[in-house]
Chains A and B, each alone.
Chain A
Amino acid sequence: MFEIWDVHVHLSGVPGATPEERLERLLEGAERLGIARLCVFMGMKWSYDPTPDDMRRQNDEVLRAVKRFPDRAFGFVYLNPQHTQASLDELNRCVRDGPMVGVKLWVAMHCNESKLDPIVARATELKAVVLQHTWYKITGNLPGESTSEDLAQLAARHPNATFISAHSGGDWERGLRAIRPYPNVYGEICGGDPTAGYTEMAVRELGPERVLYGSDAGGRSFASQLAKVLGADIPDSAKRLVLAENTKRILKPILREKGIKI
């Protein structure tokens, strides 16, 4: 029997007029597939380069949603490093003073830039994990869209921080190689097609302790993403780590600090 924690979920792609309704829809889908907990970030309407106001609005929506389902969902705070001070304030508001347990960084700025350093340093003080979107697109990345190599540079500067390479670079055969030398970077396998061999390579190259299951629901289906682990030709012991144990282990310090029992 596998316990499942999903480390990458959004309040999008499902019907619902409020954040609470949307999270409820997501949890219904998750429950049908036996997924116990969801990490949720970004609001009902996204932006590539959010203003400080927009950042707060999106985080407020996540705060509302996770407040309704505290036993089933955790929030990550969405930050825009272009607005360094506003991001630090938001980090304090949502993580230090609020219930959130991680940081989500998307496509506002390449993550190897020095503007990220104070944010990563503060997140690490607060024991929050940092989840950074990474993708390699042959069709062209967005101007501020990070690759796995960008994240590797950031991780090298912050050996004590815990990073999650969201999507493992999308082009995972490239992305997994880029993060391989950095033990503080976890490869998360969500968001792309359920191409067979993905999880096998991730487990082989990073070790089963550094691979995390996530879905990118509601844009993606829980089913297609969960299949990447349940359908992979890896031992059950590795599936157990990827599906929940690794995420629980990296969240444990901050959950303990917040008195959340798991």
Chain B
Amino acid sequence: MNLEPSRRDFLKTAAVAAGAVLIRNVAVAKPADALIDTNVYLSHWPLRRLPCDDTAKLVAKLRANGVTQAWAGSFDGLLHRDIAAVNARLADECRRLGGGLLVPFGSVNPKLPDWEDDLRRCVEEHRMPGIRLHPSYHGCKLDDPDFAKLLQFAAKRGLLVQIAHIMEDRRMMHPLLQVEPPDLKPLADIVKKTPGLRLELLNVKLPPLDLLKAGDVSVEIAMLEGVGGVGKLLAQLPAERVLFGSYAPKFYFESALLKLKESPLTEEQLRAVRCANAQRLLARKQLS
């Protein structure tokens, strides 16, 4: 459906008036516009196969939906102990199968001996622009000194740090694998004490507004809920803090894309969330 927005809206309104609203696809902007998905995963979710948990399939799905870049972590980073191998595989998959689309974000588990070397390899061997952390799967609370140390090291290395808050609904977890989402409160203090830290929160249900206003902290929309949630969030935060993220392939990619359509956003807001904010966040690495 390549109609101009005004024409499209008119048709939609006319159709609603007739009591027969129809939807064909979920395109939100012209295909030429950049779309950066800051929250995708490679490899397998530990408890279920997913329709797109194959890298080639995921890339095809993202491309078909207009994604021009996707920041990829690995599901293996949750429970595997051989983190060095997890990150090597992630970097390799992104290079071999990403077709220029996938940007690897390595895992670091600050509770493993010599995690510092995993961090070093992310930067020096894999040339990753950032890391993705799953502290609750590593038994690490955010006020743990090891966690603060990890963020300090990452900031010094110029890495963008993503913290994945919720990986699945607490109520329906496997009885033998129940993981509490980490309490985000200690982050405010860490942010204050860690100069140069760039943080992005992933999979947050209720964005912590104070924290997001405090430092260089951004949030993506994969778990944002409510009618017109993106518009409501933008009304409460500086526009540059909100990024696009789908949590594909665990979530249907279309969820995040449709959220952009559900909120009445200006062209400028749409551009900021779709790509400009993510581009700026990555580019700041060179400055720091």
Contacts and interface: CB of A to CB of B under 8 A. Distances in A.
A35 B20 CA distance: 9
Contact of B19 (A36, A197, A227): A36
Contacts of B52: 196
Contacts of B249: 196
Interface in B207-266: 223-229, 248-255, 257-259, 261-264
Contacts of B251: 193-196, 224, 227
Nearest to A174: B172
B19 A1 contact: no
B172 to A, nearest CB: 4
Nearest to A224: B255
Contacts of A31: 12-13, 16, 21
Interface in B57-90: none
A196 B51 contact: yes
Interface stretch (B116-124, B135-143, B163-171): B163-171
Contacts of B248: 196
Contacts of A227: 26, 251-255, 257-258
A259 B19 CA distance: 16
Contact of B262 (A4, A33, A139): A33
B23 interface: yes
B112 interface: no
B7 interface: no
Given A2-B24, A222-B227, A36 B16 contact: yes
B22 A34 contact: yes
Contacts of A37: 19
Interface size class of B (residues with CB under 8 A): 35 or more
B49 interface: yes
A228 B24 contact: no
Contacts of A138: 171-175, 178
Given A3-B21, A36-B16, A223-B255, A197 B48 contact: yes
Contact of A197 (B50, B223, B254, B262): B50
A129 to B, nearest CB: 20
Contacts of A71: 19
Given A2-B23, A197-B50, A230-B258, A218 B171 contact: no
A171 B170 CA distance: 11
Interface centre among A3, A193, A223, A230 (most CB of B within 10 A): A223
A226 interface: yes
B14 to A, nearest CB: 11
Interface string A1-26: 11110000000011000000000011
Contact of A221 (B21, B173, B227): B227
Interface of A: 1-4, 13-14, 25-26, 29, 31-37, 71-72, 135-139, 170-171, 173, 192-197, 200, 217-224, 226-228, 230-233
